[in-house]
A = this chain, B = another copy of it.
């Protein structure tokens, strides 16, 4: 067990309440001053199957959920079989001795089994089998020398709006678990200092929803799709009272087109989906750009292709985002890299969308969307900047040119309802006033020019956006032996690998790319050319970022660590690959 941190794993079947166990424990940790990172590995089946959740808590920022657990809480035999052998030396398996057994030889040397009669203990507090989880949580609190009151507090907050009896039963079960462990096993020798500084515990999707709400989101539409659905669930619970319409539509085609309609009349609009839903939206992404309607699309990637592994993570949709819709048109792709980033990316995306009147894609993935981590309380600035871009303002009586050619490509926007600005937004090519040229003007010399000018007007936005967004910067020592390149959700795990490499005496640094379109080709090229060795780390088969970097800079990243099995990276895997690369140099 590493000083200053501990890793737990809960495992069972879908329906066993693993996720809420994780969330409860994460909050207890946070209230005890610990940082937390948690990942829930689940499957599509609603009941049954195999689910396990790993949670790592410690005194410093936890950059990943870690790899091997110190404490395993198996809720069924399958979990015992699969996970008990992986428990780290010095760790324990705390289990319901009335339901499970530890067969001989299952545990590694130095791992202890801690039997708890959880069924009978729990049965005193209710018939719900999930009460056993609470017993186990109580036991874990004791094992880690944590404060039982913190657990009771979280249970109180969670069940507070249910009957008092439920709250009492939960607290009773937790206490019983705590007492049993106290009496029979005592504490582990985990070295953990607790403080009173508690931090918000958030998933990426919650941060995205919250960030968007804070940034003035007024319209959100979605069609359920893992791993984007929880943005909908969060927003529909919190946003309507702020005058934000949150709608589930009949499909993703309706979703994006409704959002475009809402944006057209002036509402800051966003949608959320995963890769398959985004595929359906692509035609309308082009529409948004052509009609110059701002809209933000959150695409949370899951393991593809096609339906693929809906509950597993992947960074496989970068090229889909780049290639979305026919023709050349301006759009922006932002890949936030951790939960805090999600909060601000939502507002930033809404601002860019409205300033440049274009679609902005926020590319996240299942891991980032759904995993939970603590962030610093003051990481969340509740007064985020809101930029609505150039508006036409009251009509000066002259006729209004919605698509006026300007240097930046941005023309002042008007909203229906304003007198004197009546115009038609069109997806056909049009002149400055929005009159379509496709019908009877196309191909006539003057309107061949109209077309060219409108293309140039639209595309010129990209140059100005590139100036607005910060280029990526190297993190870590300038003179590193190896540079680890990545994008999106892998930022923290790569960072952890960089730190681990440093501990092993290998100087490593990190180039993490957040803005994928437009692309800081110059800066990226310069940085990579200066690097001694470059390792691309991505959760996809073809090395999609590496290919983009090559397309934009010509730079070929020789070494690749590509993962396409749906599982998140463990720091060790990156470290090992980096060691291999540096040793072979």
Residues of the B chain whose Cβ atoms lie less than 8 Å from the Cβ of A305? 286, 289-290, 325-329
A444: nearest chain-B partner, CB-CB: B50
Residues of the B chain whose Cβ atoms lie less than 8 Å from the Cβ of A567? 443, 448
Question: Contacting chain B: which of A314-322, A465-473, A502-510?
Answer: A314-322
Docked-complex contact B323 and A321, CB < 8 angstroms = yes
Docked-complex contact A308 and B50, CB < 8 angstroms = no
Residues of the B chain whose Cβ atoms lie less than 8 Å from the Cβ of A162? none
- In this assembly, does A283 line the interface, its C-beta being within 8 Å of a C-beta of chain B? yes
A13: nearest chain-B partner, CB-CB: B440
Residues of the B chain whose Cβ atoms lie less than 8 Å from the Cβ of A152? none
- In this assembly, does A541 line the interface, its C-beta being within 8 Å of a C-beta of chain B? yes
Docked-complex contact A301 and B328, CB < 8 angstroms = no
Q: How far is the CA of A575 from the CA of B562 in the complex (A)?
A: 45
- In this assembly, does A310 line the interface, its C-beta being within 8 Å of a C-beta of chain B? yes
Residues of the B chain whose Cβ atoms lie less than 8 Å from the Cβ of A310? 428, 438
A546: nearest chain-B partner, CB-CB: B551
- In this assembly, does A399 line the interface, its C-beta being within 8 Å of a C-beta of chain B? no
Q: How far is the CA of A322 from the CA of B317 in the complex (A)?
A: 12
- In this assembly, does A419 line the interface, its C-beta being within 8 Å of a C-beta of chain B? no
Q: Which of A264-286 contact B (CB under 8 A)?
A: 274-276, 278-280, 282-283, 286
* Interface size counted on chain A using CB atoms at 8 A: 84
- In this assembly, does A583 line the interface, its C-beta being within 8 Å of a C-beta of chain B? no
- In this assembly, does A540 line the interface, its C-beta being within 8 Å of a C-beta of chain B? yes
Docked-complex contact B443 and A312, CB < 8 angstroms = yes
Residues of the B chain whose Cβ atoms lie less than 8 Å from the Cβ of A552? 550
- In this assembly, does A429 line the interface, its C-beta being within 8 Å of a C-beta of chain B? yes
Residues of the B chain whose Cβ atoms lie less than 8 Å from the Cβ of A50? 440, 443-444
Docked-complex contact B452 and A564, CB < 8 angstroms = yes
A43-B443, A448-B566 given as contacts; is B322 within 8 A of A306 (CB)? Answer: no
Docked-complex contact A45 and B439, CB < 8 angstroms = yes
Docked-complex contact B320 and A319, CB < 8 angstroms = no
- Report the minimum CB–CB distance from A502 to chain B (whole Å): 30
Docked-complex contact B439 and A43, CB < 8 angstroms = yes
- In this assembly, does A324 line the interface, its C-beta being within 8 Å of a C-beta of chain B? yes
- In this assembly, does A161 line the interface, its C-beta being within 8 Å of a C-beta of chain B? no
Q: How far is the CA of A4 from the CA of B45 in the complex (A)?
A: 73
- In this assembly, does A109 line the interface, its C-beta being within 8 Å of a C-beta of chain B? no
Docked-complex contact B44 and A442, CB < 8 angstroms = yes
- In this assembly, does A542 line the interface, its C-beta being within 8 Å of a C-beta of chain B? yes
Residues of the B chain whose Cβ atoms lie less than 8 Å from the Cβ of A233? none
- Report the minimum CB–CB distance from A172 to chain B (whole Å): 34
- Report the minimum CB–CB distance from A78 to chain B (whole Å): 9
A-to-B contact residues, CB < 8 Å:
41-45, 48-50, 52, 82, 253, 274-276, 278-280, 282-283, 286-287, 289-291, 301, 303-312, 314, 316-317, 319-329, 426-429, 437-445, 448-449, 451-452, 455, 459, 540-542, 544, 547-548, 550-552, 554-556, 564-567
